[in-house]
């Protein structure tokens, strides 16, 4: 769990640093693309928090938005 969360933090720093770049590093894209599906297919049960963070990371990296509001909810929710 700790190793995965360290990976997530490093990936978020990379996303922040490259937010306005037109090109991204191929190895980073390969590491993040399909991460959620890979973790879901593991033989061992992966905690929901890890699956949620993996999905969130994919959205941040490829779609440019955070699907979890965490205190930033739109009005009326």
For 18-53, the pLDDT digits (tens) are: 888 888 888 888 888 988 888 888 878 888 889 988
pTM of the shown model = 0.69
pLDDT at 62: 83
Compute the distance between CA of residue 69 and CA of residue 19 in angstroms, rounded to an integer: 19
The mean pLDDT value of the chain amounts to 82
Length of the chain: 77
Nearest one of 8, 3, 57 to 67, comparing CA atoms? 57
Enumerate the H helices of 1-77 as residue ranges. Answer: 2-17, 26-32, 35-40, 48-58
């Amino acid at each position: 769990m700790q190793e995965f969360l360290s990976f997530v933090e490093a990936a978020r720093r990379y996303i922040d640093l490259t937010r306005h770049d037109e090109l991204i590093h191929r190895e980073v894209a390969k590491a993040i693309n399909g991460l959620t599906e890979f973790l879901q297919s593991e033989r061992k049960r992966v905690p929901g928090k890890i699956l949620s963070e993996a999905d969130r990371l994919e959205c941040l990296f490829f779609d440019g938005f955070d699907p979890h509001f965490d205190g930033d909810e739109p009005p009326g929710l």
